[in-house]
Amino acid sequence: MTGSISRGRRYGLLLLLLCGFGVVLFRLFTLQVLQAAELSVKADRQHRKTVSLEGARGTIVDRHGKVLAMNVEVPSVFGVPNALDSPLKTARQLSPILHVQTDELERKLRQDRSFVWLARKLDPEQGRRLDRLSFDGIGIVMEGRRFYPKGSLLAHVLGFSGMDGEGLEGVEHRYESYLRGEKRMMVLQRDALGRTVFPRGVTERSPTPGQSLMLTIDEVIQYIAERELEDAVGRAQAKSGTVIVLDPKTGAVLAMAVSPRFDPNAVSALGPDRWRNKALTDAYEPGSTMKAMMAAAAIEERVVRPNTMVFGEHGHMTIANTVIHDHERLGWVSFAQVIQKSSNIGAAKIGMALGEQRLYRYLQAFGFGQRTEIDLPGEGAGLVRNPRDWGRRSVASISMGQEIGVTPLQMVAAVAAIANGGVLMKPYVVSEVRDADGHILRQVPPQAKRQVISPETARSVTKILEGVITDGTGAKAAIRGFRVAGKTGTAQKIDPRTGTYSTSRFVASFTGYVPADNPQLAMIVVIDEPQGDAWGGAVAAPAFSRVGEQVLSYLGVSSNEPVTLVMASRKS
């Protein structure tokens, strides 16, 4: 009887053990087979974090391959809040290194998250300081940060990119789709105790870097233009200024300088007014520089010839119950002298003879009132009203550069058309797009927009504009050894308080091309609100001369000066 009970107990115990093993085996089967995928995802969520980092952004170089914008690898710092023992202590240690307030860091580190950025794209020195310390739950990954090795040089054209690598202004924004690299995924892993986080690796397929751009800009010419512009603005105690240098035969922009400048490496404290490219966004009344285009239209339409005599009314004429003045009391002068001496009365008379419809047609043909379509963002169209909205004095006013708004880029492009035998070219700043290996993917050829005036008219206007320098208001734009053609401009600005022309605020400018007989450069200098002597011939023309002289020398353009040989004899 006792033996039978003992065997029963053993069988019961055995059955119990078999049931236990069955439960364990079933649980293992459930975990490793039925729930394997789900648990694997949960484990990855607990121990891994995938972060998106931008790929390498394409390089930007000048026409000779000199680097203007590039990427550098810099440290970015992240934390794992749920792996920290003391967020406050960690925040206090990191604050002086990251230059972030302690309370802000503590707030981030107390979040119920497995990953949080603490500081992006630090200076290399900050990264070195972090390397010397050990922080549990804090990690570093390397990211690409945009770097502009020339500082403020060409900043308004290059623009800049944001923290996430997206182009926000200038070429960086306009060519974002070319410059942007592929996004790359970085997998971050922490150990079982949650004490460390480190890069596990990247995706198997290497991210494709962005494409590189070659500009039409010449770094040396840009440097000359910026230096002379800063000097001119400083001398005149002016508000701002612009210099643009074009190749008139192709429309390629060789330099585009705006003052005041800014450093694209440090834009966080600056506002849009500082980085806006005023060379192509801001319109101004051009004043007498518009007389060059009016002259071209009048000669093309055979309204006048250069030697046609015009009566200057001794410097005083009434039109539509308003008085037009000249700074000289001119009598009978040739039309060429009207332009060379910048007579408002003479220009108004010829403009009225041309008529509003023909004047409007040539304004459009020269590109005023419309964008040049340059490959930069933010370009303005200027202001040219339809003739149906003109007043009784509008034809006279527009002929001497009032009642019309132009951008510096529009004006220099129009003058370049005269230099180019009457052909208006489309301005552009990017000449080539290349892949990471340097292979050319796209070349940008010069693009002619239209024939505005005939070559014969262009030659006649060029002779008149040469006289502006030799016998007129632009004497200070002369460049020794070269024939210069150009036009001065001095325009009163509208006083926003009264809505009338100010007697103390002006825009002084000079635009032209050189050498006049075979133009290599078309340039414009615009100085906004110069103090003291505000005439374009006194403020802007000297800067034109200084830029032109240095650029011609740099390019090796030969002058027209005769070579003088000095023979030395040796006494015996």
Domain ranges of the chain: 49-215, 219-263+275-434+445-555
Give me the pLDDT at residue 194, please: 45
Digitized pLDDT (tens) for each residue of the chain, 572 residues in all: 555 566 667 766 777 777 767 666 666 666 566 666 665 555 555 555 555 556 688 999 999 999 999 988 777 888 887 777 778 877 787 888 778 888 888 788 888 777 888 777 777 777 777 777 677 778 777 777 889 999 999 999 999 988 777 899 999 999 999 999 876 665 655 555 444 444 544 444 456 789 999 999 999 999 999 999 999 999 999 999 999 999 999 999 999 999 999 999 988 888 888 989 999 999 999 999 999 999 999 999 999 999 999 999 999 999 988 999 998 999 999 999 999 999 999 999 999 999 999 999 999 999 999 999 999 999 999 999 999 999 999 999 999 999 999 999 999 999 999 999 999 999 999 999 999 888 999 999 999 999 999 999 999 999 999 999 999 999 999 999 999 999 999 999 988 888 888 888 999 999 999 999 999 999 999 999 999 999 999 999 999 999 999 999 999 998 876 544 444 444 43
Q: Which residue has the tokens 């990690």?
A: 139
Residue 531 neighbours by CB under 8 Å, 6+ apart = 236, 237, 238
Q: How many CA atoms lie within 13 A of 384 on its CB side?
A: 26
Token output for 267: 């834009």
Q: Which residue has the tokens 């789900």?
A: 38
CA–CA dist 155, 275 (Å, integer):
8
CATH of 49-215, one of 3.90.1310.10, 3.40.50.1820, 3.40.920.10, 2.60.40.10: 3.90.1310.10
Residue 401 neighbours by CB under 8 Å, 6+ apart = 285, 286, 287, 288, 289, 290, 291, 489, 491
Q: Among candidates 224, 349, 218, which has minimal Cα distance to 291?
A: 349
Q: Which residue has the tokens 């006083």?
A: 495
Give me the pLDDT at residue 185, please: 60
For residues 48 and 189, the answer to whether their CB atoms sit within 8 Å is yes
For residues 255 and 225, the answer to whether their CB atoms sit within 8 Å is yes
For residues 382 and 283, the answer to whether their CB atoms sit within 8 Å is yes
* Residue 479 DSSP SS3: strand
CA–CA dist 310, 346 (Å, integer):
6
For residues 529 and 505, the answer to whether their CB atoms sit within 8 Å is yes
Cα–Cα distances in Å, from 94 out to 81, 89, 126, 322, 479? 14, 9, 10, 71, 59
Helices (H), 387-454: 394-399, 408-419
CA–CA dist 268, 547 (Å, integer):
32
Q: Comparing 49-215 with 219-263+275-434+445-555, is the CATH topology the same?
A: no
Return the axis-axis angle of helices 219-236 and 541-555, rounded to nearest 10°: 160
**DSSP run (H or E) holding 424:** strand 423-425
Give me the pLDDT at residue 123, please: 76
CA–CA dist 359, 400 (Å, integer):
12
Residue burial 419-445, b: 16+ Cβ < 10 Å; e: rest? bbbbbbbbbbbbbbbbeeeeeeeeebe
Q: Which residue has the tokens 């004043």?
A: 287
Token output for 20: 């236990």
Give me the pLDDT at residue 500, please: 85
CA–CA dist 322, 324 (Å, integer):
7
Q: Which residues, listed in sequence order, are joined to residue 73 by a DSSP beta bridge?
A: 144
Give me the pLDDT at residue 1, please: 54
Sign (positive or negative) of CA dihedral 551, 553, 556, 558: positive
CA–CA dist 122, 78 (Å, integer):
12
**Angle of CA points 389, 363, 520, to nearest 5°:** 160
Q: Could you confirm whether 502 is annotated as catalytic?
A: no
The whole model's pTM is what? 0.83
CA–CA dist 224, 200 (Å, integer):
49
Q: Which residue has the tokens 């806006």?
A: 276
* Residue 383 DSSP SS3: strand
Return the axis-axis angle of helices 408-419 and 290-300, rounded to nearest 10°: 40
* Residue 495 DSSP SS3: coil
CA–CA dist 67, 61 (Å, integer):
4
DSSP classification of residue 464: H
Q: Among candidates 455, 521, 457, 454, which has minimal Cα distance to 486?
A: 521
Of the candidates 76, 114, 288, 394, the residue annotated as catalytic is: 288
Q: Is-cis flag, bond preceding 515, omega within 30?
A: yes
Is it true that domain 219-263+275-434+445-555 has CATH number 3.40.710.10?
yes
Residue 526 neighbours by CB under 8 Å, 6+ apart = 241, 242, 243, 284, 408, 507, 508, 509, 540
CA–CA dist 349, 325 (Å, integer):
13
CA–CA dist 96, 331 (Å, integer):
76
Cα–Cα distances in Å, from 475 out to 60, 167, 414, 499, 552? 39, 43, 22, 34, 19
For the beta carbon of residue 17, count every other beta carbon within 10 angstroms: 10
Token output for 221: 């010419």
Strand residue runs (E) in 221-263: 240-246, 253-259
Cα–Cα distances in Å, from 408 out to 405, 432, 509, 524? 10, 25, 9, 7
Give me the pLDDT at residue 50, please: 57
